[in-house]
Chains A and B, each alone.
Chain A
Amino acid sequence: MTDLLTIDQLGPDGIREVMACADAMAEVCSRPVPKVPALKGRTVASMFFEDSTRTRTSFETAARRLSADVLNFSASSSSVNKGESLRDTVETIEAMGVDAIVVRHRSSGAPQQIARWADAAVINAGDGWHAHPTQSLLDVYTIRAEGRSFEGLRIGIVGDISHSRVARSNIAAYLALGAEVTVVAPPTLLPPHVEALGASVSHDLDAVLAETDVLYLLRMQRERMDQALVPSLGEYHRAFGLTLDRAKSLSGSALIMHPGPMNRGVEISPEVIDDPRVRVLNQVTNGVIVRMAVLYLVLASTASDGVAS
């Protein structure tokens, strides 16, 4: 495999391969000098056509820990604003000699299109409402690092399912590993044909809390508030936010996760953020580890594809 575009493309075996590789990367990250020369001489371009500080920083940190060179391209300061087409932009970057391209784009399917044009390995760092595979892989790693088995694990995903690539990729990853997934949202934030995602659906957070092993809160995208999908952020918080009372009805061994950035007082109450069950910073740490694994596997498998059998 030379591109990572979706979770479906990996399947359970591919997810486990990434996890096994991530274990080796976690060891590297635990060293006093967390750096190895594995990708020395390779160049990783991060092409972010949509703002994202944390995902870009995470990928670039991962690339540097493997000694790759990093070429940073952000659309806001680029020729995209001068009207250059996506294809011309990609071909220009590739002509500089890059081995992997990490793509974030507001349009679903953009990384797939770029993968068709580019010889370099393409890694999807989030496209539209479609997919965000490395987020799901780091979430799987975080749950697995707690010693939890996915078989029968009850995972609740709360929030704007409709506009969330994180939700789509995470549902795919959790189901592939045998977990039971429930999406919890008001009807206005569920996509049409939600049942096609393969998860159970609930509109009542209180009803599912006691039966949840992992509570995954999605970011409420403030920029969507003008679409009147929820009456107000305060109303959303009362119905679907993790309040102190709701945190009490969640099991003591449950995990609370969030892809960040968190809206305090919307998805989660400020007083719950310091709850010992919250794993948000572990997710960030594991993001670097898992992205190291993905960069390594994609580039190593590209190299081995070129070897005569």
Chain B
Amino acid sequence: MTTTPGPASDHDTPDESIDSNVFGRRQQRAFVARTLVLTGEEIQRAVRRMGHEILERNASLDDVVVIGLERGGVPIARAIAAALDQIEPTAGGVPVGSVDASFHRDDLGSQPGSIIPAVTQLPFAVDDRHVVLCDDVLFTGRTVRAALDAVTDFGRPRSIQLAVLVDRGHRELPIRPDYVGKNLPTARNESVRVSLDGVEIGELT
């Protein structure tokens, strides 16, 4: 009888993207864009600049790993890692992982979007490394608080640094970013939408 445990398996199979809503999710409101605040090109430039700042601060990339926060932070993490690899190529490149902070939040089930957590993928040890935690938008700081717990569950990094593409203010916790793509003053009721093609500010209707 085989005793291999069920594998973490095929979570990267493409046909598994979940957009159904049997278990419910917070009501999805439509985003109406008002202003384009960063173009795709400007995002690329900001990401490159953040890459240089990360290298400057850490002196070497040998012990640097990049971790994206599910879901919006993952493409940012990949872009930052790609920038780092371009600035200073290392053997195998800078390790990139992703973390879903859902299990460490203090507001179970009430964050917007799907309640189905993403699979955390950290195929490397974080002990004694410099972790650059990446997210798209820094707002209240609560997701980052949860993510710090999620990452430290895996070990004891030498440092955790925070890189965000947009800092929109309104912090509710003593958390500050180390690398910022753009500081974007917003009203609390405004919404920010981020993709690598652009950052827009608008409202949820």
By a beta-carbon cutoff of 8 Å, the part of chain A in contact with chain B is 1, 10-11, 13-14, 16-17, 19-21, 23-24, 26-31, 33, 36-39, 42, 66, 141-142, 144-145, 147, 273-276, 278-282, 285-286, 289, 296-305, 307, 309
* Contact, CB under 8 Å: A27 / B8: yes
Q: Is the CB of B108 within 8 A of A13?
A: no
Quick one: which of A16, A27, A142 contacts B20, CB cutoff 8 A? A16
What are the residues of chain B within 8 A of A23 when measuring CB–CB?
8-11, 16, 119
Q: 6 A–B contact pairs at CB < 8 A?
A: A1-B22, A23-B8, A23-B10, A27-B11, A37-B149, A300-B23
For A24, give its contact among B5, B120, B149 (CB under 8 Å): B120
Please judge, given known A-B contacts A19-B16, A20-B116, whether A282 and B108 are in contact too, CB under 8 Å. no
Stretch binding the partner chain, chosen from B43-51, B81-89, B96-104, B174-182: B96-104
Decide if B118 is an interface residue (CB 8 Å cutoff). Answer: yes
| Chain A residues with CB below 8 A from B159, complex form | none
Q: Given the complex, which residues of B lie within 8 Å of A296, measured CB to CB?
A: 117
Closest Cβ neighbor of B4 among chain A residues: A282
Is A37 touching B104 in the complex (CB atoms < 8 A)? Answer: yes
Whether the pair A304, B18 counts as a contact (CB closer than 8 A) is: no
CA distance A275 to B110 in the complex (A): 46
Asked if B25 and A304 sit within 8 Å, CB to CB, the answer is yes
- Closest-by-CB residue of A relative to B5 is A285
Chain B residues proximal to chain A, CB less than 8 Å: 1-11, 16, 18, 20-27, 100, 102-104, 107-110, 115-121, 149, 153-154
The chain B residue with its CB closest to the CB of A275 is B1
Contact A285 B109 (CB under 8 A): no
B115 touches A300 (CB 8 A): yes
Residues of B contacting A302 in the complex (Cβ-Cβ under 8 angstroms)? 109
**B155–chain A nearest beta-carbon distance, Å:** 9
B153 surroundings in chain A (CB, below 8 A) = 31, 33, 36
Q: Whole-angstrom distance between the alpha carbons of A210 and B5 in the complex?
A: 27
CB-CB nearest in chain B for A274: B1
Q: B11, A281: Cβ atoms under 8 Å?
A: no
A13: chain B residues within 8 A (beta carbon): 20-22
Contacts A24-B119, A299-B108 known; A17 to B23 CB distance under 8 Å? yes
CA distance A302 to B102 in the complex (A): 15
A26 engages B6 (CB within 8 Å): yes
CA distance A42 to B7 in the complex (A): 28
A289-B18 in contact given A281-B1, A301-B23 (Cβ < 8 Å) = no
Selected from A21, A33, A282, the residue in CB contact (under 8 A) with B2 is: A282
B115 → A minimal CB distance (Å): 4
Could you say which residues of chain A place their CB within 8 Å of the CB of B7?
A: 26, 145
With a cutoff of 8 Å between Cβ atoms, the chain B residues found around residue A278 in the complex are 1-2
Bound complex: CA A242 to CA B119 (Å): 37
Does the CB pair A14–B22 fall under 8 Å? yes
Give the CA-CA distance A296 to B3 in the complex, in Å: 26
CB pair A38–B4 under 8 Å, yes or no, is: no
> Which chain A positions have C-beta within 8 A of B20?
13-14, 16-17
